[in-house]
Each structure stands twice: as structure tokens, then as C-alpha cells.
Amino acid sequence: MAEVTGKVLDDAVVLSLVGRIDATNAQSTQEDILKILADCKNIAVTIDADRLEYISSSGLRAILHLKKDYPDLKIINVNPEVYDILRMTGFTDIMTVERAYRKVTVDGCEEIGRGVNGTIYRIDEDNVVKVYNNPDSLEDIKHEREMAKLAMILGIPTAISYDVVKIGDCYGSMFELLNARSFSKLIANEPDMYGYCVKEFVALLKKLHSTRVEEGKVPDMKERALLWATFTAEYLPEEYGRKLIKLVERVPEDDHLIHGDYHTKNIEKTGDEVLLIDMDTLSAGYPVFELGPMFNAFVGYSEYDPDHIKAMQGYDIATSQRFWRDTLAEYLGTDDEGYIRFVEDKAKVIGYARMIRASIRRGGMDKEGKKEEIEIWKKHLMETLDRVDSLLFTPCEMTVDAKVSNLPEVQEFIEGFLGFMKADPQDSMQINVSAEEIFVNIAHYAYAPDEGDVKIKVETGSSPQRFTLVFEDSGSKFDPLAKEDPDVELPAERRKIGGLGIFMVKKSMDEVSYEYKDGHNIFKMTKFLGKGN
């Protein structure tokens, strides 16, 4: 027995087929369909097969007749058995046919992650489901699956959805995560894992930020940040609003990956592997656009309500603030509190702009408590804008090929820190000359005739102001300090050509040292700034 019902909308008709369509009732079913469509011309027709149990060739002929009159005909909610018949007979090639979505419940399931667009629940030991907030989220799911596949192709460890399901009125993506535990859970319940979580959290973040993506493959994060800044500027005094927008506009274009919602609930440990999940916010841009939302997740959202972090991440505000600070230190490669605060301020500019916009758009100005929260964020944003003149920063460590052609990149890296420390021209000159001598020496001799790289790290300190450069390469063992200093008092005709470079380094810097350790040459030189001649 078959039954046909129809729902006529303004620009579409949805036909529901129920039961079995076979040789005994295919003709009458077709007639019932035509009656419903009698007054419907030039309109989209959809067959909802949610309760269609069976269809034979007779029923297929009825659908084919309908397809000829309504070229955009599509069939949705098809069960696996009926879908197999449609696929076998080529109907899936001539029209849109959508499978029915398996129904899943998350009642009583553990929440293991929460992002901008949805919440992740553990269904069983091996599987999790991300439930999207938007009931009409099929396009969002498709986008996230594409982003996850792209990330995996580019070498970012992530999970890819293997199924789309229905959860109540919403849709969800199913993922296989065997015995996975989020970093939030590890931090909250296993204190001994804290150091591990910091290092792995940052290692994955650095891998993400060092991965280039082809233009147009992912959204541009700078465009989003400009939306945040432009909106928030309307709620600030004019001079602050202008400065906020200009700071974002001056950030250079960048083709490196950004996750966009990077926090400890979106990092999963499964066995010995660490996976990044919740990939719908994947984009490209300068890393300050990542650090801003990270600041929000660990600090910003909890400034007005310290209990917020417990609800979101599962650990207290003190742990969250500590993790944020330790993450920045590990990411930047420094324990210098001054430089950490210097970069944190840049993250705050982006973070506060985003939080203010989001809260106002959700009606925060009209809600008790939310308005006060917005005012706190505005106050902190303006205080930060008074201190910040650029959103650019440099991690304290870089690795480049040991080639003289890379000298300008090395010098730019060093200049960024000298500017931060407000080094005077004499100190800057001596540090730059010394750095050039060491780098060029490595480039010429460390790997010859082969090639290799050199790691350069900046270490800074205060009381007194200390600037240290560490050069590390894995080339031939060579101690530049072992060479005898040239006699600079000899007349020109008696002096040897060369040998002045290392001598200049010794004279320009306050401390120099060399060691060979674990197959690496490590040259370290320190300048105490502001001493004068």
C-alpha cells in the first residue's frame, strides 16, 4: 500500500511518499501525485522518502515521468535500501538524491568540546559527534569536512567526519576518536600532564602556523578581523576607533594556516597522537589573529565572570591564566616577561574587539551583567591601544638555510627585538655587525660543500638589560674563539688579510661562548644594553 501527501509552499512542493510502490499501485500513485501538482507549474518539486519502504521498476517509471515535467526534481531522506535501488538504476546520476540521516541521541553523553558553531559529545569509547548549533547546517558540515580534508593533506593531524547524522532538529558530524581525551580533561584531572600539554599544544600550533595554503582555499582571517574592528570602533571614542582599524589594516597579508578557535578542548590525545578538531574555522592569516581568540578563551571571557572558564574548559581561572602565559612563553621561545606582555597586548587588541562585537550583536547592551562586561572589555581595550603601535611580533627563535642570501631575513628578525628593547644606535650597530659575522661564517664554512640550516634564538632580560643571541648549527665542529686574535697595531703592510670578524665580535659583545654539544655547534653572545662606550 502506498500513500501520497503534499505540502504546497510559496515556491516549492514537498511530496511525501509512504509505504510500498510496486506494480499494483504505481499507476494510482502517479495519478495522486498529478492531482496534487495540477495547479503547480514552474515550481520546484521535492520527494520526501523518509517513510518510503520499497520501490520497484513500476514506481521508478512514475518518478521518471515526474522528472521530465519537473527537471529540478530531487528526492531526500532516502533509506539505504531504496537508495541502493536508485543508485543501481542510475537515478542518482540524473537527479539529486539525498540519503536519510541516521538518528543519534546525545542524552547523557559527555561533552568533550565546545566551539563557535557547535558542541562535541562522546557517543561511545570510539566515536564522537559534533552537533551544530544551526539547524540548517548541512552546508556548514560540508565546509568543515572540506577544511579537515585540506588540513590533513597539508600535514595537520586532524579527524575527518565519516558520517552525517540527525540529533533532534539539528545535524551532526560523526568522528572516530579512539579513547581520545581532550587537553582540557588532561589539565583538569592529571596535573602531571600539564607540561606535556603545554609543549604539545604549542608544537601543533607552530606546525599550523608554519604551513602555507594556496590562496582562496580557506577564508582570509584578516577580513574577519577587520569586521570585528570596524564594528567595535563605533562603540569607542573616535581616536581609539580609528587606531583600532588602522592597526588591523596594517597587518600584512599572510598565507599561513590559522585554526581560529584554538583552545584545549579542541586538542585531543588519542594514543600517542595529538589531533586538532573542530576545523570549520580554519583560515589563513598573520598569527596575531590566532592569539587574539586564544586570549579570549583562556582569559578574556572570564575577566567579568571567573567561573566561565570552569564551565567552558573544566579547570579554574588560575590554571587557565597560567596555561595562557606558559603557552605564550613556549610559542615565543622566551621567559622574558616584558616581551611576553608586549605580545600579549597585541593579542588583547584583537581579542577584545572580537568579544565586544560578539556580545553587542547578541543583545549584550540590553542584558543585565553583559553590559557591565562589555564596558570592562572596552576599558581594557582602550588601555591596551594606548600601549600598542603595531600588531606585528616575532617569535624568539627562527631557523633558516645557512645561506648568505638569508642575511637580510636574519637582520630583520634581530631588529624586531632591538626595537622592542629600545636599544640605542651604538648597541644596535655592534649587535648587528656581530650577528652578521657569525651568520656569514656559518653560511660559508659549516656545511661546505653541502647545505644545512642554522637556528637563531634571542634571549632577553632586565636589570641590567641583556640581549643574547644564540646560533646553533649541525655542521662541522668549529670553535671560532680558539683562533688567535689579530694584532691590530701592526702596520697595514704586515697585517694578514682576514681574521677580523671574530675579533670584532669579541670586542663588540660583553660575553661570548662556544660549545659543541650533541653534534651541534652552539655560539652564544651577550650585550648589556645602555652601558655606553
State residue 80's pLDDT score.
85
Q: Are 302 and 316 in contact (CB under 8 A)?
A: no
SS3 at position 162? coil
| Residue 500, pLDDT score | 64
Q: What is the rounded average pLDDT for all residues in the chain?
A: 89
Statement: residue 465 has pLDDT above 70: yes
β-bridge pairing 96-99 and 74-78: parallel
What span, in angstroms and rounded, lies between the C-alpha atoms of 225 and 350?
7
CB half-sphere exposure, 77, CA atoms < 13 A:
15
| Euclidean distance between CA atoms 54 and 20, whole angstroms | 5
Q: In which band, very low, low, confident or very high, does the pLDDT at 224 lie, cut at 50, 70 and 90?
A: very high
Cα 82 from Cα 29, distance rounded (Å): 17
| The predicted structure's pLDDT at residue 488 | 44
Element (H, E) at 440: helix 425-445
Q: Tell me the CATH number of domain 110-176, given options 3.30.200.20, 2.30.40.10, 3.60.20.10, 3.40.1010.10.
A: 3.30.200.20
Percent of all residues in the chain with a pLDDT value above 90, rounded to a whole number: 60
Is the pLDDT higher at 530 or at 258?
258
Quote the pLDDT of residue 459. Answer: 85
Largest CA distance in the chain: 115
- In the chain, what is the straight-line distance between the N-terminal and C-terminal CA atoms, in Å? 101
pLDDT digits (tens, 9 = 90+) for 72-127: 999 998 988 899 999 999 999 999 998 888 888 999 998 877 766 788 888 888 88
pTM (global) more than 0.85: no
What nine digits make up the cell of 440?
A: 656569514
The CA distances from residue 490 to 293, 496, 499, 503, in Å, are: 61, 10, 14, 15
Report how far residue 112's alpha carbon sits from residue 203's, in angstroms, rounded to the nearest whole number.
22
What are phi and psi for residue 180, nearest 5 degrees? -75, 145
Nearest CA to 314 out of 187, 133, 460, 137 is that of 187
Torsion over CA: 343, 346, 350, 355 (sign): positive
Instruction: Give me the amino acid identity at 469.
Output: L
Dig out the grid coordinates for 25 from the structure. 499501485
As to burial, measured by CB atoms within 10 angstroms (0-12 exposed, 13-18 middle, 19+ buried), residue 415 is: middle
> Which percentage of the chain shows pLDDT scores above 70?
96
Return the minimum-mean-pLDDT range out of 16-30, 242-256, 317-331: 16-30
- For domain 397-528, the CATH architecture is 2-Layer Sandwich (3.30)
Q: How far apart are CA 341 and CA 338, in angstroms?
A: 5
Query: Which of 37-51, 283-297, 302-316, 333-347 is most confident?
Result: 283-297
Query: What was the pLDDT predicted at 532?
Result: 59
pLDDT in tens, 40-66: 777 889 999 988 999 999 899 989 988
User: What confidence score (pLDDT) does residue 353 get?
Assistant: 98
> For residues 265 and 186, what is the distance between their CA atoms, to the nearest angstrom?
10
pLDDT recorded at residue 139: 84
Q: Which CATH superfamily is domain 2-100 in?
A: STAS domain (3.30.750.24)
Residue 492 pLDDT class (50, 70, 90 cuts): very low
Of the candidate CATH numbers 3.90.1200.10, 3.60.15.10, 3.40.50.300, 3.30.420.40, the domain formed by 187-387 belongs to 3.90.1200.10
Contact indicator for 274, 255 with CB cutoff of 8 Å: no
Residue ranges covered by each domain of the chain: 2-100, 110-176, 187-387, 397-528
* CA–CA distance, 520 with 348 (Å, rounded to integer): 38
The dihedrals phi and psi of 321, each to the nearest 5 degrees, come to: -65, -40
pLDDT at 485: 61
Reported as type and span, the H/E element at residue 20 is strand 12-21
For 240-247, the CB contacts below 8 A with 24+ separation are 240/381, 240/382, 240/385, 243/385, 244/349, 244/353, 244/381, 244/385, 247/349, 247/385, 247/388, 247/390, 247/391
- Nearest partner of 126 among 172, 167, 166, 162, judged by Cα: 162
